[in-house]
Amino acid sequence: MLQASALVKNYGPHVALRGLDLEVQAGEVFCLLGANGAGKTTTIPPR
């Protein structure tokens, strides 16, 4: 299981994420969709 609560990310004075809660159960398929520049990579950076 992946669980995150109240995630926040700032770039200087610019807020990229504010109060994001996320829970993905084992075996679930998860997809994060959004327009270019919407913060997908900021939310879940590739490793």
Report pLDDT for 28.
Answer: 94
- The pLDDT tens digits for 1-47 are 989 999 998 889 998 889 989 899 999 998 889 899 888 888 888 87
Q: Which residues contact 7 (CB under 8 A, 6 or more apart)?
A: 17, 19, 20, 21, 22, 43
Report pLDDT for 45.
Answer: 83
Distance CA 17, CA 25 (A): 22
Report pLDDT for 43.
Answer: 82
Distance CA 30, CA 16 (A): 21
**Domain count along the chain:** 1
Report pLDDT for 44.
Answer: 81
Range of the domain at 12: 2-43
Report pLDDT for 16.
Answer: 83
Report pLDDT for 21.
Answer: 94
